[in-house]
Amino acid sequence: MPELPEVEVTRRGVAPYLDGQTVTGVVMRRSGLRWPFPVGLESTLVGQTIRRTGRRGKYLLIEFDHGTLLIHLGMSGHLRVLPLDVAPGKHDHFDLLVGAKLVRMTDPRRFGAVLWHALADGAVGEHLLLRGLGCEPLEDGFTALHLHRATRKRSASVKQVLMAGDIVVGVGNIYASESLFTARINPKTAAQRISLARYELLVAAIRATLAAAIEQGGSTLRDFIAVNGQSGYFQQNYFTYDRAGLPCRVCGSEIRQIKQGQRSTFYCVNCQR
């Protein structure tokens, strides 16, 4: 599944082609993806100018004067910027036409979403899918003190708390494992047992890990590719994720794999005590 770095890479890729442009067409090749496409979306968007392209967690936000188009890439989706005459493939479900280009959403497993939030319904942050999200990990509000205070009554493992999304958003499975390794924190440790000093290390690790992943174009797992069709290469630098049975890059101990909340966790038993 595309995580925050992959979505941010996508946002940066499409923004130069969308920001300030007028929508000239909308093409929907099925009734919807995870949820139905908004009724009347073509008439809502055609002729309207895109003010900016943002992101909230794993949601892309294409902002207009009268509302916001929300796009989620789901489990296997990606966006591409293409010439208008490129024929769609089997899994190409949605096109947004702007000038001489189109932004095309490809989603083989159809767990993605294209939704509309009208300004008349309030700020986009109040959308049902956004209003419960935690703070952004790359913004100033994400601090060790914030994490420490928010986890005093959390008996769940720190890995699961990071991924829950209500305290901090967008730290998915890959980057939670990698960040916990960098901070030398065992992923099984109860969140409420971690000290403020160790959360200082974890916040720094999360920021550095996400920033490095974005710089390297994200991770390419299964179907994710960037807007320009290139693959990310952060996966070449994983310390723990998907390295079960291999030696730790730091101490040489074997990387172990466990299940937490039905997701795989990878960690070094020596480095992460």
How confident is the prediction along the chain (273 residues), in pLDDT tens digits per residue?
788 988 999 999 999 999 999 999 999 999 999 999 999 999 999 999 999 999 999 999 999 999 999 999 998 899 999 999 999 999 999 999 999 999 999 999 999 999 999 999 999 999 999 999 999 999 999 999 999 999 999 999 999 999 999 999 999 899 999 999 999 999 999 999 999 999 999 999 999 999 998 988 766 554 545 565 555 445 667 899 999 999 999 999 999 999 999 899 999 999 998
Q: One fold for both 4-119 and 144-268?
A: no
Annotated catalytic, 137? no
Bridge partners (DSSP) of residue 36 are 32
Any idea what the Cα angle at residue 136 is, between residues 234 and 104, rounded to 5°?
60
Cβ atoms within 10 Å, residue 63? 18
Residue 85 has phi, psi (to 5 degrees) of -90, 10
Q: Where are the domains of the chain?
A: 4-119, 144-268
CA distance 107 to 114: 11
Query: Active site residue: 58, 104, 159, 198, which one?
Result: 58
Query: Active site residue: 12, 154, 184, 263, which one?
Result: 263
Annotated catalytic, 8? no
CA distance 240 to 175: 10
- What CATH topology corresponds to 4-119? N-terminal domain of MutM-like DNA repair proteins (3.20.190)
Query: Active site residue: 2, 108, 137, 187, which one?
Result: 2
Cβ proximity of 179 and 171 under 8 Å? yes
CA distance 8 to 138: 11
Per CATH, domain 144-268 is 1.10.8.50: yes
Annotated catalytic, 153? no
Signed CA dihedral, 68, 101, 11, 74: sign only: positive
The set of residues, in sequence order, having a beta carbon less than 8 Å from that of 104 and lying 6+ positions away, is 79, 80, 81, 82, 86, 88, 92, 94, 95
Cβ atoms within 10 Å, residue 233? 13
Token readout for 245 is: 């049975």
Annotated catalytic, 16? no
